[in-house]
Structure 1
């Protein structure tokens, strides 16, 4: 598992270097993610927030713990799928406020329901 995570980090690091040294303006992963989020992939801020809350925050309060550690992942996938379906059915402007709110909601979700700090 560690090899996979290190490999993804190395690939991302190389990708980011290539994007930063080329001659195209505004060609970084942050700009790509923002543009994709303003399009059909509105789930990106929520998913990144959930991953951030999961990895870097995380409550130890057992009140929020689910009976299976797989449930938070299934719910996250379901929310992301629902967001994609909604963007295909309903066209709306994705403001920075909406994307920021989704990011914060994801952090709360990852912190409370997908915590790595629950005692086994």
Structure 2
């Protein structure tokens, strides 16, 4: 991946967020005075977060601090892995260890969102 292709990819991610936010503002602001209208529910709410995580990921981070082999390996992971694994590359998942330690037959523990409000007092979480 040449330097120009990397910069173009990063710029395309930023432009996608700007375009999606602008389109959302245009449709939702009908009849209201100025100000930023941001989604409070739905997947569009997390789009800027995922875009920022993509920009900071090893595959797309700017600068020469990442070795070429490492960058190529992460690009291959992003290209060929299932969507759930790609999303966990960008935005980590939280699991309760006490559910893993006491599994039910054929049932895997469900991941939790990262905000503190989802952490239970009686749970065991890795850090």
Bigger Rg, structure 1 or 2: 2
The TM-score with structure 2 as length reference comes to 0.33
Relative contact order: is structure 1 or structure 2 higher (C-alpha 8 Å, sep ≥ 6)? 1
The TM-score with structure 1 as length reference comes to 0.34
